[in-house]
Structures are given as structure tokens and as C-alpha cells.
Amino acid sequence: MQQIKPSPLKLIRRIIQTAAFFLFPGLFITMFSAIKTLYMAIIDGTFHITAQANELILVLSMLLITALMGRFFCGFLCSFGTMGDFFWVVGKRLKLRRRNLSRRMDQALKSLKYILLIGIVLIGWTLGVSLLSGTANPWTIFGMLTSVAGWPNLTAWVSVGALLLILIMAGSLYIERFFCRYLCPLGAVFAVASKVRLFKIRKPAQHCGNCQACTKQCSMGIPLYGMNVISDGECIDCMNCVDVCPRGNVKANPKPALAAVVAVAAMSGAYFAGTIASSAAAEQTTVIETASRTTSVTAGQYIDGIYTGSASGFRGTTKTQVTVSGGFITDISVLSTDDDASFFNRAERSVTAQILSTQSLSVDTVSGATFSSYAIMDAVTDALKSALVNAGTAEGSAAQVGVNSAETASSIQTEQGLIALEDGTYTGSGSGYRGETSVSVTVENGCITSVKVTNTSDDERFFSRAETTIINEIISGQTPDVDAVSGATCSSNGIMEAVANALGIEFTAAAPAESRHGGHGRR
């Protein structure tokens, strides 16, 4: 049997889809995260054109292009959609029995993505309730596995997100563009924006036959046979209807191939323009925040020098170099990273600027780049473990922080301190993320002078982030009731509860509020 060659239009689409998959496989995540960032900034009252330049350019440009040209983003640039196309073809090759859904059922299921979008905005973004965060999100798992570097981390497959991703892949074997049709919240945004599009596919009814080939080949299951003009918001501009029409009756102006290239080029340009604008804004912000650092921090806690550290990111290891001068963190340079540049660059600019400004190792993560954000914080923390004052005489990184903080705390406390206990070492335990955390607390002259973790069941990556900061703040404030570390609330609570238990102080753990800044791992 002679194999039919793909048409030039279909070939152009495949080339663009393949290029987009390798050049920016997570563009759909970036786009949705940008919408979230703008929404959160507006409702929090922190919106600033300079600070949100990247997101503003990306979102406005993509929506404007979609309003003019339609959903070319979904049909040509979205890698998650490309994955769906791949599994649909696999299902064809396997000759699976596919049952067509009724028109009514298909329409009802298509409304799910709008309900999901509203739920995410109202419950997840507005109320701050964590919804499919971290590795519970199939988009995150897909992003981890779209390069060879992501495959060695097989633990990603043991997650809720991986299970959902597998179910989406399975659904794509039987229903073309399964996720895009019924579940994609970003698709819901584009569907609304594209309802007023100027670029329309036309098929004059008087020239149509009874074949309904256009409807049968529509990726989104739109009943095209009854339309003179195809302007449905569900249309993703895949151009299958143009390609399959035996009479050449389905046309568009400008020609579909030209329209696709123009729309894709414009969207790609908007993405890179936003990145450039964000870089310029971040450099300006860094200069301003670094200049104001000395007025917001009264005492440095590190030994001058240059230190290096590493931590695990989205795809692999991130290494940083940290410069300390006058006891302050004065410069942070990323030596190497295995993460995607598009995500990592956004995280790097924001996270390093915040660390320099606040002199804190626990700062807000960047929406859409949480793993990369944590990798930078963890790598800086790792670098500074050997830079803490009196590090040579302390036991472990937590104790090293304790010695320096105790000196600062004792200088502002009364001679007897605030702790009504005799000098000595006390032990206690608290509930962490996965189990019990045990500590030993040293009291001298009524002051907490050292806190040492003797045992924990929590994940090392998250616990180590909480350990250094929480112990530092407990000793500095002379109380176990301090702010939890964003992204490691349960581990933070475990340490605070254990210290309170050791000192005989009542303590009520705060409920995890990870959704605003990222939970135990969220991209």
C-alpha cells in the first residue's frame, strides 16, 4: 500500500510543534504562571509594571495575538498539546476501538475546563488553598520529563501528578486532544479570548457536499459541517479541516500556512521580549535593593570570603558562588544549573535580589519556577554553612547559627534572660512533615544559646531549609514561636514544637500555608 505523504501545511505544523517542544517545552506553564503572577500581584496590591514586566508583556501579547488570529498557541506551540497529538497517533497505530461521544456529552465535558479555571482562580489563587501543587501537578511532571536530564529522577513518577499524567496520556489514546478539550484551564482562557478573532476559516455551505470530512478530522470535535464561518472558541487552528476538504472549499485569508507562521513568530517574539524586559527590570531592582540593604540590616552574621554550594533543582544540580563582605551577603553568582533556562532565569533574578535585600535565606519563590527558586535558596544556604561566625567551634550548621545568634540575642536581653530554667541541656520532640523531630536545647543564664537537631524523619531537602533559619530565629528571638519557613512549614513546626517541648512551653503549630509561596515542592 502506498504511503500518503503529509501535505505542506501539515508538514509546517509538525516542524513548528517539534521545534517548540525542544526550544520551550514549558511555555504553557510559563504562560499560566504569568497570568497567576499578575492576578496575585493585583489582589495583593503589589502590582508594579517594572516588577511584572515579563508577565505583562507575555500575557497581553499572547491574548492580543489570540484575539486577532485565534488559538495558534494551542495548535502549534503548546508542548502538552503536542504530547496529546502523539498519543492520538499511537492509538491509531494500535488500532484501538474508539467510541465517539455524543454531541451533548462532548459539550458537557468541554465545560469542565471553565469550571476548573474558575476553581483555580477563586480557591487556589484568591483563597490560597493549595490545588495540585508540586509533584501533584501533571504539568510539573511533564515539565520534568521533557528532557533527558529529567529521566534519572525516577521519584517523579511516584506522585499524584505522575498518575494524573498517565491518565491524560491514556485518555489521549482514545479521544483526540483529550486534555485540551476537557481539562486545560489555559485552554479555557484562550477559548474566551479567541471568540472575537479576526482571522476566520470560511467554508461556504453552498459548495459543501455531504462528506462531513472537516468535522471528522477536527481535533477538537467541533461540528463544522453546519458552519459557514469557523470562529468557535474551541478551534485551535490545527488546519486539519483545510487540509482534508476534498473540494478545497475550506479556506482562510491570509492563507493558513502564512497565518500560522506569522502567529507563531509573533508569539515567540513576545516570549523573548518579555524575558529581555524582565532581565532589565531585575537588574535595576537588584541595584536598588542592594543599595538599601545596609539600612535594613543592622548586623552581619557571616565571615568575609567567597563560598560555593549546591542543591537539587527542577532537573538536576544548581551550584552557586556567594560573596560575603563586612558580614553581609554582597553577591550571588550561579556557576551552573541543569534547569531550563526559561524557568531558571526568572527564579534567579528574583530570588537573588530578595536574598541580597533581606539577607535572609528563605524568601518568596517565583510563581511557575518554584523548584528553581528553592534550588537557589538551598545552594546559597549550603554555601554559607561554613561562613557562619564561630563555625569552627559549633556543632553542625544549626549550632553554628545558634552561637552567633545567641551573642546577638544576649546583648539585648536582661542579664538573666527570658528562659525560666536552670543552666543545662534539655531535650524535646515535635511532629514534623513525615514523623517525629527531636532536639537538644542548651540554656545559659536564662538564654537559649544552642539548638541541635538530634533526629528527624523529614525529607532532608526540605528539613535543611527550615533547620538553619528556624534555629537562627529561635535563638535570636529567644522564643520557639517564630515564622515558619515558606515551602517547609511542617518541618518548621516540628522544630519549633520540639524546642517548646524541651523548654516546657506551650506551642500550637500553625496550619501549613504553602499555597501562596509553594508547598513541599511546586513548580
Mean pLDDT of 315-335: 86
DSSP 8-state code for residue 74: I
If you search the block for the grid coordinates 469550571, which residue do you land on?
115
Weakest-pLDDT range from 209-223, 227-241, 437-451, 469-483: 469-483
Enter the DSSP assignment of 49: T
> Helix, strand or coil for residue 228?
coil
Backbone conformation region of residue 362, classed left if phi is above 0, alpha if psi is from -120 to 50, else beta: beta
Q: What is the pLDDT of residues 7-17, one digit of tens each?
A: 888 889 999 99
Q: In the predicted model, is pLDDT for residue 266 greater than 80?
A: yes
Confidence label for 514 from pLDDT (cuts 50, 70 and 90): very low
Is residue 306 predicted with pLDDT exceeding 70?
yes
| More confidently predicted of 49 and 462 | 49
- What are the angstrom distances between the C-alpha of 52 and each of 93, 283, 362? 46, 13, 21
Cβ(483)–Cβ(469) under 8 Å?
no
The H or E element spanning position 79 is: helix 79-93
The span from the CA of 30 to the CA of 23, in Å, is 13
pLDDT of residue 406: 40
Return the H-helix or E-strand segment holding 441.
Answer: strand 436-444
Residue 76 has pLDDT above 80, yes or no: yes
Tell me: the pLDDT tens digits for 377-429?
A: 888 988 888 776 544 433 333 333 333 344 444 343 444 567 778 888 899 99
Could you tell me if 384 and 359 are in contact, meaning their C-beta atoms sit under 8 angstroms apart? no
Q: Partners of 439 in the beta sheet?
A: 428, 453
pLDDT of 118 above 90:
yes
SS (H, E, C) 388-405: ECCHHHCCHHHHHHHHHH
Which set of grid coordinates corresponds to residue 451? 539548638
Run of H or E including 337? strand 328-337
Q: Average pLDDT of 251-257?
A: 85
pLDDT in the model for residue 515: 37
- The three three-digit cell numbers of residue 87, written as one number: 498519543
pLDDT value, residue 154? 63
> Residue 206 in contact with residue 83, Cβ under 8 Å?
no
**pLDDT band of 329, cuts 50, 70, 90:** confident
Strand partners, 309: 320
Q: Are 475 and 388 in contact (CB under 8 A)?
A: no
Show the DSSP H helices in 329-485 as ranges.
341-358, 370-384, 396-410, 460-477
Q: Would you state the pLDDT for residue 56?
A: 87
Q: What confidence tens digit (pLDDT) does each residue in 159-189 have?
A: 888 899 999 999 999 999 999 999 999 999 9
What was the pLDDT predicted at 416? 53
pLDDT at residue 398, rounded to an integer:
36
**Confidence grade of residue 75 (pLDDT, cut at 50, 70, 90):** very high
- CA 407 to chain centroid: 39
The per-residue pLDDT for 150 is 53
Least confident of 64-68, 379-383, 514-518: 514-518
- The per-residue pLDDT for range 201-221, each reduced to its tens digit, is 998 888 888 888 999 999 999
Q: Is 43 exposed, middle or buried (0-12, 13-18, 19+ CB in 10 A)?
A: exposed
- Sequence-ordered list of residues with C-beta below 8 angstroms from that of 181, at least 6 positions apart, any chain: 106, 109, 110, 113, 175, 220, 221, 234
Mean pLDDT of 371-375: 82
* C-alpha cell recorded at residue 144: 520534568
Q: What is the mean pLDDT of residues 320-348?
A: 83
Whole-prediction pTM:
0.64
DSSP symbol at 510 = P
Q: pLDDT of 457-476, one tens digit each?
A: 887 767 877 887 788 888 87
Q: What is the dihedral of CA 143, 315, 331, 36, to 10 degrees?
A: 20
Q: In the sheet that 436-444 helps form, which strands lie side by side, from edge to edge?
A: 424-431, 436-444, 447-456
Please compute the mean of the pLDDT values over residues 359-367 and round it to a whole number.
75
pLDDT digits (tens, 9 = 90+) for 81-104: 999 999 999 999 999 988 888 999
**What average pLDDT does this structure show over 301-317?**
82
**How far apart are the C-alpha atoms of 219 and 177, rounded to whole Å?**
6
Give burial (CB, 10 Å; 0-12/13-18/19+) of 273: middle
What is the predicted pLDDT for the residue at 405?
40
* Of residues 301 and 482, more confidently modeled: 482
Identify any residues that bridge with 134 across adjacent strands, giving them in sequence order.
none
- Give the pLDDT of residue 410: 39
Q: Pairing mode, if any, of strands 328-337 and 305-312?
A: unpaired
The radius of gyration of the chain from alpha carbons, rounded to an integer in Å, stands at 27
Mean of pLDDT over the chain: 80
Highest mean pLDDT among 47-51, 309-313, 407-411, 424-428: 424-428
